[in-house]
Amino acid sequence: MSKHESPLALVTGASSGIGEATARAFARQGWRLALCARRKERLLSLRPALRELGSPHVLVHGLDVRDEAGVKAFAETVLAEQGCPDVLVNNAGLARGTERVDNAEGTAWREMVETNIFGLLYLSRAFLPAMEERKKGQIIMIGSVAGWSGYAGGSVYCATKAGVHKICEALRLETLGMGIRVSSIDPGMVDTEFSEVRFWGDKEKASQVYEDFEPLHAQDIADCVLFVATRPPHVNIDRLLVMPTAQADPWHVARSPKKQS
């Protein structure tokens, strides 16, 4: 526990979707919050609601997790003002485009690798020493079913999420005996801005991904994060794969089109 009375959760990519829902879930339990996202204005507008839900203190910071120096500065601010996070939720990540390997321009590849891999490595590195020093802490990665099964048009995104699994496995070994827990929560289809980002802002195309079945919702994953974070200290949930009932893997979804009257 830090010098403050209530525990501290740090959530990256907290301006929308799973990150925002996770921040709300921790706020309802009275946790202090340190939030970062590229869209700081959305964090600022979210802060009053989090305070009303029960969070005693909400620190917000504009940050692109690809910015190594920016991550370092953010970590220094959090550690100085709030202390060491009890839980770090590495949520920031994205899929961009559906390029095949044989005809890809490649810019989106770099964005995904730098965000989904380097970003969570920068954040983890920034706070692990403080967790190790006090022999307590938890890192929760938001992975994906794409880390379990690859699919056409998603080679690099799938590779980054498989990489998250391997980083988790390595961190579990590197921190073994230090009282630190490392977990991965891997969702299937979640109705957030994810597909809108993947399709470069095309809302119509994004909405078609979730047609004719009920996908997961951001709150479903936030509930899982809170569950994992609140297990007794001797319990570590290594990996949690969470799917909509109508989805079996990245390719198989049971859709039930509505009959036209």
Confirm whether 20 is domain-assigned: yes
Full residue range of the structural domain in which residue 152 is found: 8-242
Active-site residue list: 157
What predicted TM-score, i.e. pTM, was given to this entire model?
Answer: 0.94
Confirm whether 151 is domain-assigned: yes
Q: What angle do CA 31, 172, 244 make, to 5 degrees?
A: 65
Strand partners, 87: 9, 138
Confirm whether 258 is domain-assigned: no
What pLDDT, on a 0 to 100 scale, did the predictor assign at position 201? 83
Confirm whether 251 is domain-assigned: no
What pLDDT, on a 0 to 100 scale, did the predictor assign at position 259? 64
Confirm whether 199 is domain-assigned: yes
More confidently predicted of 4 and 142: 142
Residues in the chain: 261
| Tokens standing for residue 143 | 């992975």
Confirm whether 212 is domain-assigned: yes
Confirm whether 248 is domain-assigned: no
Band (260; pLDDT cuts 50, 70, 90): low
Please answer whether residues 54 and 28 qualify as being in contact, where contact means their C-beta atoms are separated by less than 8 angstroms.
Answer: yes
| CA–CA gap between residue 237 and residue 177 (Å, rounded) | 16
Q: How many CA atoms lie within 13 A of 226 on its CB side?
A: 20
- Residue 261, pLDDT > 70, answer no
SS3 62: strand
Confirm whether 44 is domain-assigned: yes
* Residue 242: exposure state from Cβ atoms within 10 A (0-12, 13-18, ≥19): middle
| CA–CA gap between residue 47 and residue 45 (Å, rounded) | 6
SS3 116: helix
Give the pLDDT confidence of 34-57 residue by residue, as tens digits.
999 999 999 999 999 999 999 999
Q: How many domains does the chain have?
A: 1
Residue 42's CATH number = 3.40.50.720
- Residue 216, pLDDT > 60, answer yes
More confidently predicted of 260 and 256: 256
